[in-house]
Amino acid sequence: MAFHAVPGPFDLALTTERFRAFGVDKAAMWHEDGLHVAAGGAAGARELRIEAAPGGVDVEPLDAETEPVVRTVLGLAFDLEPFYAWAAADDVLGPATRRLQGFRPTLARDPFEMIVGAITAQQVSLHSAGATRNRLIEQFGTQVGNVWAFPLRERIAAASEEELFALGFSRRKAEYTVGLARSDFDLHELAVLPDDEVKSRLVALRGIGEWTADWFLARHLARPNAWPWGDLALRKAVAHLYGGLDVREARERFHPFENLSAHYLLLAHRLQ
C-alpha cells in the first residue's frame, strides 16, 4: 500500500544504506530492493516491507501498527529543509548535502534494542558487532518471513551471561547486557528528559559510557544537538573532510544541526 506522507526530498537507497554497509542485519534486511523489518511484539510480530515508490514508499502491510514503524525507520522525525539551507554555506557539508539529498538517518525503534546494539559495537568494528548482534537475534528473537524481531527485554533477562558469551559477547558485554535487561531502569521515560539528564542517567548504568549515551540521543531520540564526538568513524570523517579539524572543536561549527551533520559527514566519508 502506498505511503505518501514522506516529506521530500527522500532517497530510500541512501536512507537504508547502513543496513547494507556493514553486512546483513537480521532485524532490518534489504531484500529484492526493499527493506524488511518486523512490526509488533515478538509474539505477534509481522514482516513489514518498505520499497521506493513515486511520491513516497510502498509499505506492506500498512496500518495503524506499522505506520509508526515506517516513520521511525525512515527517519521522518528529521526536518531536512532547514538543515540544507543552513549547510549550504559550508564548503564541505554544503556539497555533501547536495550529493546525498534525500538521505534521512534511520532511527532505532526500541530503547533496549538501541542500547544492546551500542554495547555490541563498543571498541569493535561494526562488521564484528553486527555479526554478534545477528547471533543474539537468531538465538533469542523471533523469525517472521525474511526478517527477525529483536529479542524482547524479558527474554534477554532470562538468559545467562554464559549464553551471550557463547554468541561472541565478551564477558563484560554479556554482563552489561543481561544486567540492563534484569534491571528496573525505565528506558522509555528517557524520551521526555533533556539531553544532559538522559546522558547522566545512562552513564550511571554499568557498561554505558558517553559514546553509547550520545548515540542513544542521536539514533533513538533524534535529538538535534547530539554529537557523538567519541565515535572513531566520526573523528576520522571530520579530520579528513576538514583538514585535521578536531572532532570536539568541530561541534560548535555544526550547531544547531549537530546530529544531522554527523550522519551526513559519516555517510559522505564512507561513500567517497
Residue 59: count other Cβ atoms within 10 Å of its Cβ.
23
Give the pLDDT confidence score for residue 2 in this predicted structure.
77
pTM of the predicted structure, to 2 decimals: 0.95
The Cα 21–Cα 31 span in angstroms is 14
- In the chain, the amino acid numbered 230 is G
Contact (Cβ atoms closer than 8 angstroms) between residue 217 and residue 223: yes
Give the pLDDT confidence score for residue 41 in this predicted structure.
58
The Cα 71–Cα 102 span in angstroms is 15
The Cα 219–Cα 148 span in angstroms is 20
Q: 136 pLDDT exceeds 90?
A: yes
pLDDT above 70: percentage of residues in the chain: 99
The Cα 57–Cα 49 span in angstroms is 10
255 vs 104, 190, 221, 225, 259, CA distance in Å? 18, 23, 17, 7, 9
Mean pLDDT of the chain: 94
